[in-house]
A and B are shown apart, each in its own frame.
Chain A
Amino acid sequence: MASVDTTTNAGQLLAAASGGRRRLGDRVFSRTAILAAVTILVLLAGVAIFLLSEGYPALTASAADLPEGKTFLDYVAPLAFGTVLAATLAALIAVPLAVAAALFITHVAPPRIALTLGYLVDLLAAIPSIIYGLWGIFVLGPKMVPVMKWLEAKLGFLPFFDGPASVTGRTMLVAGLVLAVMILPIVSAVAREAFAQSPRRLQEGAQALGATRWEMIRMTVLPFGRSSVISGAMLGLGRALGETMAVTIILSVSGAVTFNLISQANPSTIAANIALDFPESSGLAINALIATGLVLFAITLVTNMGARWIIARQQGE
């Protein structure tokens, strides 16, 4: 040991002291970690490659060979419309509720029970989507029938409530409501984190100047959390776009392209269409469904990336 040159760094010294065994252990372990990282990248590349190679035949096939005798674009367009409509509806319903729920937990409810309340909201995210679907069709749908009749009678002049109101409750409105419940915890969690971090001194300053609680929230908490709420809303939207089982079970589909939310004739969504048709499909129909899956992946990817970009930009500030 004494003979070791003083300029040798500590690492070399240690390695020399214990021989090669220690080095081998380090090498094996760090390589395993790198292997895991690379495996994940390969897996994702695999997702892209396999979906592209299985979806591609549908993109080039002639209309006559594809399901419903349409070109792929004509086939996927109404589905993409339904997907975006259902998800947008869900986000419009969920975001105000989620923001209010987050405000309630962080700034209104007694701090002692806030943690428990937050846990209750998170529980909504733990429930499997198949159960939301069953709940939607057996419980919420029938309860919404009179509401939709009322909407048709009172607000029928709006294209959204044109009717004729469904008597089964298997409508876009009910699907949107169930999706809203499903994405609420995600939006709420992001908003909650931002609201909880809003600077205390601003809140105390506002109250010292005589602001009421609501004024304090409006002037200090909400501006601080705004971009988080937007990104949370987009994450929720991304989740709603890809949600499958609830829509599959609830929505009665006809392929119609319509903004009418309360009728029996609805556009399907990409995910629901796959779940409904895949088990009974074969040949090119499978390729077409996989290609629609790629379109869905692209739509959710853009939405999620937008959300991450907003979060990253905000953290940079």
Chain B
Amino acid sequence: MESSVQSLGRSQPSRLLASGLGWRRRGVNIVMTTLIAGAFVLAMIPLFSLVFEVAKRGIPGLSAEFFTSDARGVVGGGGAAHAIMGTLIITGVAAVISVPIGIMAAIYLNEYGTGRLRKALTFFVDVMTGIPSIVAGLFAYALFEIFLGPGIRLGVMGSVALSLLMIPIVIRSAEEVLKIVPNHLREASYALGTPKWKTITKVVLPTAFAGLVTGVMIAIARIVGETAPLLVTTGVVDSMNTDPFNGRMQNLAVYAYNEYRSPGVMKQAAYDKAWAAALTLIAIVMILNVAARLVYRRYKTEIR
């Protein structure tokens, strides 16, 4: 439509275009359009540079050892298996905490909520979205310190910190998909005499299922690379630990930071491992994002 209007102007040069003013306006239009397109390209350069550099610098550090062994008692060598395992456990526990609370809260907001509690929850979910990640880490530390004493570091503390960041993301996305489940489905179910809770669990949730799963996957992708809250809660450790309730637990993001920050004697090897960890993280995030889209496309319910 836009182009047809413009070509019309060009094929029949109006008085405006013929005058000097017309050329000026046309010039401004070209300059501004170029600037807008240029700004977009400029904004995309970091993305491509980043992905390219992470791939280029990360590949040398990838090896079988990187994925299979920890770094206990090894100088300059060792792998990141303990960090990968830690990332999976910490993120997994965070998801186990956040998903039920988040989805139930979204059900509350969309299906039950009325009055003051609903208003308060909506407001505070907004507040929660804005909590800086490092503050979430400090909260988890303060919480556990009061009960377990100063200097405490546990895998589950990291999960609690991450939950604080994950819950609002889950609620927001779940609320969106529950909102688009059409009311006539609920009404049809009520008309058959189905109680409300069965209507929600058998009609509303299955209809929204693909959207809910997608939302959860995106939320996991958001928190899986968090570093700051884990730096103050799960600590740094060289060996494998699979018990979130006992002792420090390493994870990929903190591992990458630590390899960069204290590379030790074999500097380049440490940097290689930091980049390899970064590459692994980016791969996890991208796979989650792509998988989320595929799930949505494959399983979404056609709503008429």
Contacts and interface: CB of A to CB of B under 8 A. Distances in A.
A261 B107 CA distance: 48
B62 interface: no
A126 B218 CA distance: 9
Contact of A135 (B49, B118, B197, B231): B49
B105 interface: yes
B246 interface: no
Nearest to B103: A36
B228 interface: yes
A117 B40 contact: yes
B243 interface: no
Contacts of A101: 39-40, 43
A244 B229 CA distance: 9
Given A37-B121, A54-B142, A275-B134, A249 B33 contact: no
A22 B192 CA distance: 14
A131 B39 contact: no
Contact of A100 (B39, B57, B275): B39
Interface residues of A, number: 96
A146 B228 CA distance: 31
A23 B100 CA distance: 23
A293 B140 CA distance: 13
A60 interface: no
B101 A39 contact: yes
A289 B138 CA distance: 9
A46 interface: yes
Given A130-B256, A293-B138, A274 B232 contact: yes
A290 B37 CA distance: 44
Given A47-B131, A135-B53, A100 B40 contact: yes
B117 interface: yes
Nearest to A131: B278
Given A98-B43, A128-B226, A241-B132, A50 B1 contact: no
B29 to A, nearest CB: 4
B285 A127 contact: yes
A271 B142 contact: no
A193 interface: no
B257 interface: yes
Contact of B253 (A47, A124, A130, A308): A130
Given A51-B135, A131-B225, A46 B127 contact: no
Interface stretch (B2-10, B71-79, B180-188, B208-216): B2-10
B167 interface: yes
A134 B121 CA distance: 37
A120 interface: yes
Contacts of A207: 1-2, 5-6
A132 B28 CA distance: 36
Interface string A288-317: 011001101100110110001000000000
Interface in A172-215: 181, 184, 188, 204, 207-208, 210, 212-215
A35 B231 contact: no
A63 interface: no
B20 interface: no
Contacts of B195: 14, 18, 22-23, 25-26
Interface in A28-53: 28-30, 32-41, 43-44, 46-47, 50-51, 53
A54 B6 CA distance: 65
A181 B46 contact: yes
Given A30-B112, A40-B125, A304-B127, A130 B43 contact: no
A304 B228 CA distance: 20
A247 B111 CA distance: 42
A97 B134 contact: no
Contact of A41 (B120, B261, B289): B120
B29 A304 contact: no
A242 B132 contact: yes
Contacts of B256: 130-131, 134
Contacts of A96: 39
A4 to B, nearest CB: 14
Identify the interface centre among B9, B111, B167, B197: most chain A CB within 10 Å of its CB: B197
A139 B36 contact: no
B113 A126 contact: no
Contacts of A98: 43
A52 to B, nearest CB: 9
Given A104-B40, A126-B285, A212-B26, A26 B197 contact: yes
Given A36-B107, A128-B278, A300-B132, 18 more contacts: A25-B197, A30-B112, A33-B108, A34-B112, A37-B118, A41-B120, A97-B39, A98-B43, A108-B33, A109-B37, A123-B289, A130-B225, A130-B253, A130-B278, A181-B46, A238-B130, A275-B134, A279-B235
12 contacts: A14-B195, A18-B195, A30-B112, A54-B146, A100-B36, A100-B40, A128-B225, A129-B227, A130-B257, A244-B134, A282-B151, A304-B129
Shortest 7 CB-CB distances between A and B: which pairs?
A: A242-B132, A128-B225, A100-B39, A36-B104, A29-B197, A212-B29, A244-B228
